[in-house]
Structure 1
């Protein structure tokens, strides 16, 4: 349990949640938001906003209105911390994840992943690589499956 007198208490946080496809459970967003909310409470963070993208791939920031709105609010310094379930919720693209981390870090905003901790350069690099490899591997499997049907 965090001591409420720590410098963490009172930091403003936003939560970002995303799921990829219509085939995934709609409940996924609510589950992520709930998990992140509990994390914020444990850490003494005050959730001031939430952002979400439903049925949106993590392969690109394009078409992800929730993420883009969050980044706009970041420029206004509306929060101090971004909470996500895992870094792949922000992006499964190495360049995009690194860019998001760089922009937020420049603004003094920290990214925290419930299952991974505070995002630093090393963690962002590793998770970005793993996320991109996962996405590319899935794309190959989908194409193979489609070719098999043809």
Structure 2
């Protein structure tokens, strides 16, 4: 039996250090730890792909938490079935569960459904927060860098949108958009 590890965070700004440390402490060799810095909402991940290629019958994959393997229930079930079909077990360290045995597979399936529901709730709350913030006048996106006074002056001096765009180093559509916003 060989131990493999898998760690994942959702963004490149997050750190894998805590998960990797826990996997090493559980006995996984450094060269058998596979990582990804990408959303768990799909299974098209480089580290996961490499892990799937490396494992063989009798191997065990350690993952710190269930939601680190994935957030989509259908994908999780497919992964569990795939690993099970080649005789590879998955153990989730923090959750204290494993795909070894019928009850383990059932518990993992239920918990992966909960993880997916949690992800949906997070997305809903985020969207509600954005809507509320917009209603309060919060502006999203980067700050404008175009000098609208200069744009208006060039327009008043008789220049067309193409010439204004060239002089200001912006697109013609941006010129039209800003002119439309200022009512000119």
| Fold similarity call, TM over 0.5 | yes
- What CA RMSD, in Å, does the superposition of the two structures yield over aligned residues? 2.0
- Uncovered stretches (5+) of structure 2, i.e. residues with no partner: 135-184
Q: CA deviation digits over 1:39-85, x for unaligned, max 9?
A: 23xxxx7675111011x1111113x11111111223xx287010000
- Higher RCO (Cα < 8 Å, 6 or more apart): 1
| Matches of 1:47 and 1:98, distance apart in 2 | 27
Corresponding residue for 1:97?
76
Query: Which aligned pairs between 1:101-140 and structure 2 lie closer than 5 A?
Result: 101-115=80-94, 116-119=96-99, 120-140=104-124
User: How many angstroms does 1:118 deviate by?
Assistant: 1.6
> Does the 8 Å contact 1:13/1:47 carry over to 2?
no
SS in structure 1 of the partner of residue 26 of structure 2: helix
SS in structure 2 of the partner of residue 136 of structure 1: helix
> Does the 8 Å contact 2:7/2:19 carry over to 1?
yes
Superposition TM-score, scaled by structure 2 size:
0.64
Superposition TM-score, scaled by structure 1 size:
0.78
Larger proportion of helix: 2
User: How many angstroms does 1:117 deviate by?
Assistant: 2.7
> Does the 8 Å contact 2:6/2:61 carry over to 1?
yes
- Uncovered stretches (5+) of structure 1, i.e. residues with no partner: 1-10
Runs of 4+ aligned structure 1 residues displaced above 4 Å come to 45-48
Structure with larger Rg: 2
